[in-house]
Amino acid sequence: MNNLTILPVLLPLLTGIILLFVTKSIIIQRILSMLSSIIGIGIAGTLVYNVSAHGIIALAVGSWEAPFGIVIVADMLASLLVLTTTIIVCAVLIYSFYSIGEAREKFYYYAMVQFLLVGINGAFLTGDLFNLFVFFEVMLMASYVLLALGGTKVQLRETIKYLLVNVIASALFVITVAYLYSVTGTLNMADLSRKIAEIGQPGIITVIAVSFLIVFGMKGAIFPLFYWLPGSYAAPPIPVIALFGALLTKVGIYSIFRTYTLLFYHDQGYTHTLLGILGILTIIIGIIGAVGYWDLKKIIIYNIIIAIGVITFGISLMNEQALIGTAFYIMHDMIIKAALFLLIGIMIKLTGTNNLREISGLIRTYPVLGWSFFIAAISLAGIPPFSGFAGKLLILQGAAAESAYLGMAVVLLSSLFVLYSVMKIFINGFWGEEKEYPKKDIPYKKLLFPAVLLVAISISYGLGTEFVYPFISQAAETLLHPDIYLDAVLKE
């Protein structure tokens, strides 16, 4: 059973390596990619079931027990995020078959998607800070290729910006890891948690915690380190934007979630207060962009920043309701952001523009697209009973319990602005007088299928809150009580 924990990393790694040698056959690449994704969903689902039934599963790679060897750890939060990630990648691959274009398919597109998945799943499952850095780098190297693939001027410009930002962040990551090792003598996260608890988080540990916040905040696009995201995410094709928007920033946020609940939770008066302030400022910046733009991509991209702020604020509260709500909200946001990007991608293909002022009346000809977008929009805003409601409500309850009324008000107001920004797309793009658009041979139904699939999963997630709650509650229990994680990994 323990060997199951490494399969979400090994499967896409082996698939990606094989895909490197079959680039001349697009059909084989598609079949292998889809087969790997379907198997991956099965593995991730099995992993969630086993963690639910038996508790945290830890695998000592090479039989070197923690804290001396590399450890892969599947707790409920990591397992749920791996399952969500694999489902999203599967849907995006289906969309890619009919939209990414043969030129990109022949130049390692599907292999890079698999390597991206290696980095993301590895970051979720690793129990070691240095290997977190390694998986970050695997993820980033694949993302550099995906961002530049196609070679347009805007892609190359944004790739340079994205590359420079992440090189600086990675350098700071290594320096911060080195400082932490010099103080504690270990990089295993369970062992770190135990040793930091023993020494009581002195000032140097708090400085290291803030340094990690800068590193992960830069990768997760928290204020004021978000500046690279809007341009970089708007440059590549829609399937790549969907992968980036749904997954990449969540890895940075997950890293904050993990370190600030497992390692740096002793001096909450400073670290978590700072985290809460940055979360509120991130929400405000996201609102300004989402409301101000009329570019379809930019509106949804700035909604990513709003969600990052909400999640960051939820983590800062550090009580049971807030952590359960944050875990709920992360998975909701991953699914719904991927769905929204695929839906606006269809709108752009149909109209030939991403300027909302030049689009109207689409619902007359494409009603399924319109109503799918409407459901995704109200889900994003947290309208009950859809998927965004439960998580946001629990975060608000957690904020009330901590008397964090300013943050509570900002999160509540953000829901209104989110609703306004996405309903602006629905009202202006789908209603009104139907315009004439250039006739193109577009596989509309084939593109619509994965988007509708993600919307359906989001609906099920919202309506099935009672079914999902025990899994999320188990994830939050581990976050609130680090001893559960320590006992599973260190086998004490």
Exposure b/e, 310-344, CB count within 10 A at least 16 = b: bbbbbbbbbbbbbbbbbbbbbbbbbbbbbbbbbbb
DSSP state letter for 151 = -
Distance CA 169, CA 364 (A): 47
**Comparing 396 with 220, which gets the higher pLDDT?**
396
Cα–Cα nearest to 91, from 310, 341, 295, 302: 341
Residue 384 has pLDDT above 90, yes or no: no
Tens of pLDDT, residue by residue over 16-56, are: 999 999 988 899 999 999 999 999 999 999 999 999 988 89
DSSP state letter for 147 = H
- Comparing 151-165, 362-376, 425-439, the range with the smallest average pLDDT is 425-439
Mean pLDDT of 100-108: 87
pLDDT of the residue at 468: 92
Residue 105 has pLDDT above 90, yes or no: no
The identity of residue 181, as a single letter, is Y
C-alpha to C-alpha distances, 214 to 172, 209, 258, 281, 407, nearest whole angstrom: 9, 9, 15, 15, 21
Confidence of residue 1 (pLDDT cuts 50, 70, 90): low
pLDDT of the residue at 492: 54
Cα–Cα nearest to 47, from 95, 22, 80: 80
| Cβ-contact 432, 351 below 8 angstroms | no
Residue 171, token pair as written in the block: 């350098």
Residue 186, token pair as written in the block: 């270990």
Mean pLDDT of 121-143: 92
Residue 86 has pLDDT above 80, yes or no: yes
The residues, any chain, with a CB within 8 Å of residue 353's CB and separated by 6 or more, are 359
pLDDT of the residue at 405: 92
pTM: 0.94
pLDDT of the residue at 58: 87
Confidence of residue 4 (pLDDT cuts 50, 70, 90): confident
The identity of residue 58, as a single letter, is A
pLDDT of the residue at 268: 80
Confidence of residue 203 (pLDDT cuts 50, 70, 90): confident
pLDDT of the residue at 271: 86
- pLDDT above 90 as % of the chain: 59
pLDDT of the residue at 3: 72
| Cβ-contact 275, 315 below 8 angstroms | yes
Cα–Cα nearest to 136, from 106, 100, 177: 177
Tens of pLDDT, residue by residue over 176-201, are: 999 999 888 888 898 898 888 888 77
pLDDT of the residue at 442: 84
**Comparing 491 with 256, which gets the higher pLDDT?**
256
**Comparing 150 with 62, which gets the higher pLDDT?**
150
The residues, any chain, with a CB within 8 Å of residue 2's CB and separated by 6 or more, are 57, 58, 59
Mean pLDDT of 289-298: 91
Confidence of residue 2 (pLDDT cuts 50, 70, 90): low
Mean pLDDT of 376-389: 89
Residue 120 has pLDDT above 90, yes or no: yes
C-alpha to C-alpha distances, 168 to 132, 164, 210, nearest whole angstrom: 16, 6, 16
Confidence of residue 421 (pLDDT cuts 50, 70, 90): very high
Q: At what angle do helices 129-148 and 153-184 cross, to 10 degrees?
A: 180
Distance CA 184, CA 195 (A): 7
What does pLDDT average to over the chain?
Answer: 90
- Comparing 62-66, 88-92, 433-437, the range with the smallest average pLDDT is 62-66
Residue 248 has pLDDT above 60, yes or no: yes
The neighbour count for residue 473, using CB atoms within 10 Å, is 15
Exposure b/e, 163-187, CB count within 10 A at least 16 = b: bebbeebbeebeebbebbeebbebb
**Neighbour-count burial of 203, counting CB atoms closer than 10 A to its CB (0-12 exposed, 13-18 middle, 19+ buried):** exposed
Distance CA 33, CA 55 (A): 31
With residues binned 3-state (H G I as helix, E B as strand, rest as coil), the percentages for the chain, rounded to 5, are 80, 5, 20
Tens of pLDDT, residue by residue over 295-310, are: 999 999 999 999 999 9
